[in-house]
Amino acid sequence: MSPPSEGSETEPYYYVYDYQGTNLGAAVSTSNYDTYGVLYNWPAVMTEDICPSGWHIPSDGEWQTMEISLGMSESEAGDTGWRGTDEGYQSIHHSQFKNRKRTKVTPTAPVNQPKRLWRIG
């Protein structure tokens, strides 16, 4: 468990949104842990067994499929680096989603970073 003030491009770091300490027990007892779960830096994502059995880290192609289904153009989805705006937010407020079961869409990114990655579930 790492405070948001710490990070690394080579070592795995794990965060709970808006939690400033390093105590795992205290971090998982926060409402933000219940809401957002754990946030990871890239080296942590690349750790073996990061996903539950039967799950995997999505490829860029899988992200592109999701982004396009949420309203991003194919050309923008094909860009590299940070891309998109608020397609997830827009999708839950679009008329085609009225009267359907809504999916919880929440931004996930390291603290002090643009909130352009989305966890859907």
Q: Which amino acid is at 63?
A: W
- List the single range of 12-16, 67-71, 72-76, 100-104 with lowest mean pLDDT: 100-104
Instruction: State the chain's mean pLDDT as an integer.
Output: 76
pLDDT at 112 over 70: no
Tokens of 37: 């779960």
CA distances for 25 relative to 21, 30, 36, 57, 76, angstroms: 10, 9, 16, 26, 41
First CA to last CA across the chain, in angstroms?
23
Contact 110, 39 (CB under 8 A): yes
Q: List 15's β-bridge partners, or say none.
A: 39
Q: What is the pLDDT of residues 9-62, one digit of tens each?
A: 899 998 999 999 999 999 999 999 999 888 888 899 888 888 888 888 888 899
E strand or H helix that includes residue 118: strand 118-120
